[in-house]
Structure 1
């Protein structure tokens, strides 16, 4: 340590023997953002339509911007809008900082369900994999048993209806990458799909946010309508139905869905309804076949309206 550093430190000692704290960056003359420019960024970000989380909306208030455009695209649109009106423009770094610090917002990326244990094992190092090996092996055995159970249900010869259902991620309409669509107020739509695994037939229930939400009442209404349709298709016998679904507590484990099942068994020509909840990713591929088909159709529609 040089003598000058010691001398500087001693010069900052007060009469009580306390050394004055560092004053770097505390001069008070840092550049500031013009309040009007900052407000223009906030107003622009607020004008972008957003959606809630599909999987964890009960645990987070984070909202999502459609991934049809990147952050650079959005800033470019902001810049063009301000230039058109002859107004001052925030820099891209300022725009990004305001978006990241003053909004609980990120870009929405549609993804399939992932098994927590499988992903944790896949991304672990050698030591962690050894610690997880027993649990992981048991997990793999459970997946085999679950798939065997599903295959046995599909191969039943007694006419039992075996179906899998799921709710697709929120769809925003209209959809497109041009600014005319992207910054317009869009309506959130929901698509609930039920697929008969044996007959390889599917039904889609589609509604928008003005007609209903995505809670157990809406899900139960769709399932009850599906059961009634199956009863109408089999007027000469009592039907048996086996449903497969994910293990989401909100839509699947509630009194409303149980009431719908009880009503169907007591009031309709339904002998029994069995609901099997997944404990692994074993039914994800079955469910996603229909969801992926819907997404591909949506992508085709989107590609036809690109500029």
Structure 2
């Protein structure tokens, strides 16, 4: 604010005007409901490389074209008829830790990791958060697929689903998820389309959910993972509260045995397009797949040699875990040490963690 006031004073001097006092300037700034934008730390690597003169202009222009193309495509999807099409975006929130306290003892101890995978309906703004901690599940492809398939199975009214995400390999761009979506499409007679944003420019509507949750968590003490669930449910009131599903190891299914598609790669020869070049994948209810290298391209059929016989018996889904997961011995010890700053009513949860 001091820097902004200095700029204002210089502008007033150039116009031979008498500047207001710092206090009046600050009060007026707040009255107008203005704010100072703090640039995010995680900036696009390609844009930073160009800014520092380490990237040719033509490559950067191509990168910008793909960024704008993806954003225009997403904006177009948001205008679709919500009765026939459901447009979703999904992402994993930054890692949450438990317990979350201001006690100095926490700074030197490892804590329990808590995960929130968010699915956001861009047409109705309804949101579902899938929350679990590392004692109940990890971050493999099957965990994310279980959440996505659960959400789609609970909303089968539309004929078409469009899923927007970043291009994270283990989370959104892998054969496990593709096989599961193709299987869902065939079973439910639906069309599912995956679309990816340009790397480094993956801002989505579900990011606002994470921001609201982080503001709600500010200055809040959290002793148990389940307390995150209650805080998330109260994080938003309008248009309606977030739906939060607190899940355990019994929720997750092993989708690695579903092998309708052997590989996502559209080419086989050196120099052909790879998985990371794909910008959209369409799963058809007849068991076929199509892909796009650019959002503006026409759909191209996925190579038939990559698809397996849909009548194979190896497409069954089984539970991913037979029991809760073990945490590291050192982490269990640290959590036991932290019980001195945690109310006794919560000690049994940490005592019962497998290690």
| TM-score (norm. length: structure 1) | 0.54
- In structure 2, the CA distance between the partners of 1:283 and 1:164, relative to structure 1 (3 Å rule), is same
Match of 2:153 in 1: 228
Aligned partners of 2:88 and 2:121 also within 8 Å: yes
What is the SS of the residue equivalent to 1:263? Answer: helix
Structure possessing the higher radius of gyration over alpha carbons? 1
- In structure 2, the CA distance between the partners of 1:192 and 1:146, relative to structure 1 (3 Å rule), is same
What is the SS of the residue equivalent to 2:90? Answer: strand
Would you say 1:262 and 2:182 are equivalent positions? yes
Matches within 5 A, 1:3-152: 113-122=42-51, 124=52, 128=53, 132-152=56-76
Would you say 1:239 and 2:159 are equivalent positions? yes
Shift of 1:282: 4.1
Match of 2:92 in 1: 167
Shift of 1:266: 2.0
Would you say 1:253 and 2:173 are equivalent positions? yes
Would you say 1:301 and 2:220 are equivalent positions? yes
Which of 198, 203, 212 is the matching residue for 2:128? Answer: 203
Shift of 1:279: 2.1
- In structure 2, the CA distance between the partners of 1:287 and 1:119, relative to structure 1 (3 Å rule), is farther
What is the SS of the residue equivalent to 2:190? Answer: strand
Match of 1:213 in 2: 138
Q: Structure 2: which 5+ runs fail to align?
A: 1-39, 223-340, 342-355
Which of 109, 119, 125 is the matching residue for 1:194? Answer: 119
- In structure 2, the CA distance between the partners of 1:280 and 1:187, relative to structure 1 (3 Å rule), is closer
Shift of 1:167: 0.9
Q: CA RMSD in A?
A: 2.5
Shift of 1:249: 1.2
Q: Deviations over 1:113-138 (max 9, x none)?
A: 5321112223x1xxx27x52222222
Aligned partners of 1:112 and 1:288 also within 8 Å: no
Which of 188, 195, 208 is the matching residue for 1:289? Answer: 208
Aligned partners of 1:113 and 1:284 also within 8 Å: no
| TM-score (norm. length: structure 2) | 0.47
Q: C-alpha distance in 2, partners of 1:184/1:280?
A: 34
What is the SS of the residue equivalent to 1:199? Answer: coil
Shift of 1:260: 1.8
Shift of 1:255: 2.5
Structure possessing the higher relative contact order (Cα contacts under 8 Å, 6 or more residues apart): 2
Which of 77, 94, 103 is the matching residue for 1:153? Answer: 77
How many residues align structurally?
184
Q: Structure 1: which 5+ runs fail to align?
A: 1-110
Q: C-alpha distance in 1, partners of 2:208/2:196?
A: 18
- In structure 2, the CA distance between the partners of 1:164 and 1:218, relative to structure 1 (3 Å rule), is same
